[in-house]
Amino acid sequence: MDVTWSDEDIAFRDEVRAFLDAELTPELRSAGRLRTSVYTDHEASMQWQEVLHRRGWAAPAWPVEHGGCDWTLTQHYIFSRESVLAGAPALSPMGIRMVAHAIVAFGTPEQKAFFLPGILTGDVFFCQGYSEPESGSDLASLSMAAVDDGDDLVCTGSKIWTTHATEANWMFCLVRTSRTGKKQEGITFLLIDMTSPGIEVQPLVMASGEKVQAQVFFDGVRVPKKNVLGSIDDGWTVAKYLLVFERGGGAAAPALQVMVENLAEHAATVTGPSGAPMVDEPAFAAKLADDRARAKVLEILEYRALADMNAGRNAGAISSMLKILSTELSQHITELGVEAAGPRGRVYQPHATKPGGPIEDYTPPADGHVSGADWQAVAPLLYLNDRAGSIYAGSNEIQRNILAKAALGLPQF
């Protein structure tokens, strides 16, 4: 595997760097630096999407005819890596990185013509309706009913852990249209207008105090059958296709490497138990070195996946491996962040951060005082949010099950 960039790749990297240097304002960089979850401040995220759209880079992985870029796989990786290194805000993945690909693959011409341009501009903003109170990692057990009624499907039930439901005007949703056969059968993939009568959104307060997610209730919501993606009762096929994009498609290693190096820089500014800088405390330094090594291994694995795809080979179950390694490493880094932040990291002060969602019932100090540095305010919130990393997009236990079957030929349980 050759991990060196070609002259063309280096020229492209320099072009991306020049663009980021010119377009990333201090406010946008601050939104990326002070984020407290995997989701950037919504307003900053949409501002950055507008900038990217003007350049034609909002959805580089889409087919060119729908607004994507004619880039090589290596260029896609370089763009993702450089964006992270520059501190660019993250875009919400629900539309651009996820459902758009399913619409391209399974949508009707009318669906493509309506949804894809709107997703690019941000006028169409999606949330994901998968999990239910009694159906999480075992997604095929979902029960939200959609009853056939002429030209409509009438939906009743609820979805939970719905990220950005309060901001979204559309939801891509899995519903139960039949209860015969295997549980994976009888599921339909719907595109639901969130302004439809009968929809109620109840925000959920996370441990961090943020309202990024919600529970969404459907009471006899009528959805036109023209909003079915794929075929009725065959939504599982669409959902499996979409999962490939949910679990992969980006460069995780650069973000984690930035997190580790930022942590080392921050830990040099605080005093450890022995009186030396925290970064020089032997136990802490050993854990930091371990995280640096793990981030490097992850980078090599991402290059390996990239090389396989460039050679036309199927990367196989490596997306599951990368999901496990990246989320568990992120969790460990955020644990070290809390350790380095020390007592000042125990102070709840979200006003010093850029939360991923609104925080209510919190009154910041009148003078805006922050106990410690801003990173010490970010550390505990990022830690709390990162606990979900090993659960979303298919829990890491399920990913290990996939690897056991794909790599070792073991039965799944």
Identify the CATH number of the domain in which residue 282 sits.
1.20.140.10
Q: What is the pLDDT along the chain (413 residues), one digit of tens a residue?
A: 456 789 999 999 999 999 999 999 999 999 999 999 888 999 999 999 999 999 999 999 899 999 999 998 889 889 988 998 898 999 998 999 999 999 999 999 999 999 999 999 999 999 999 999 987 767 778 999 999 999 999 999 999 999 999 999 999 999 999 988 788 889 999 999 999 999 999 999 988 899 999 999 999 999 999 999 999 999 999 998 887 666 555 678 888 998 999 999 999 999 999 999 999 999 999 999 999 999 999 988 888 877 776 666 666 678 788 889 999 999 999 999 999 999 999 999 999 999 988 998 899 999 999 999 999 999 999 999 999 888 887 788 888 888 888 778 887 65
Q: Does some domain include residue 104?
A: no
- pLDDT for residue 302: 84
Number of domains the chain contains: 3
Under DSSP, the state recorded for 98 is I
And the tokens for 377? 């305010």
Report helix angle 73-85 to 7-23, nearest 10: 40
Query: Euclidean distance between the first and final Cα of the chain, in Å?
Result: 35
Q: Does some domain include residue 106?
A: no
Residues 212, 267 within the same domain = no
| Main-chain phi, psi angles of 108, to 5 degrees | -75, 165
CA distances in angstroms from 232 to 157, 237, 309, listed in the order given = 18, 11, 32
Q: How many CA within 13 A on the CB side of residue 179?
A: 6
Residues 232, 260 within the same domain = no
Residues 310, 392 within the same domain = yes
Residues 203, 279 within the same domain = no
Sign of CA dihedral 117, 122, 124, 125: positive
Q: Does some domain include residue 245?
A: no
- What SS3 state is found at 184? coil
Q: Does some domain include residue 69?
A: yes
Element (H, E) at 73: helix 73-85
Measured between alpha carbons, how far is 360 from 193 in angstroms, rounded to an integer? 27
Residues 84, 175 within the same domain = no
> What residues contact residue 16 under an 8 Å CB cut-off, 6+ apart?
78, 79, 82, 83
> What residues contact residue 179 under an 8 Å CB cut-off, 6+ apart?
186
Q: Does some domain include residue 22?
A: yes
CA distances in angstroms from 363 to 5, 30, 146, 350, 359, listed in the order given = 50, 22, 43, 10, 10
Q: Which residue's entry shows tokens 């307060």? A: 205
Q: Does some domain include residue 99?
A: no
Q: Does some domain include residue 105?
A: no
Residues 150, 272 within the same domain = no
Per-residue b/e over 120-140, b at no fewer than 16 CB within 10 Å?
bebebbbbbbbbbeebbeebe
Report helix angle 73-85 to 252-267, nearest 10: 20
| Main-chain phi, psi angles of 34, to 5 degrees | -105, 15
Nearest to 54, CA basis, from 132, 3, 122: 122
Q: Does some domain include residue 143?
A: yes
And the tokens for 43? 């307003």
Residues 339, 300 within the same domain = yes
Boundary residue ending a domain (193, 210, 239): 239
Measured between alpha carbons, how far is 334 from 385 in angstroms, rounded to an integer? 10
Q: What share of the chain is helix, strand, coil (3-state, %, to 5)?
A: 50, 15, 35
Boundary residue ending a domain (177, 209, 239): 239
Identify the CATH number of the domain in which residue 192 sits.
2.40.110.10
- pLDDT for residue 249: 52
Residues 304, 163 within the same domain = no
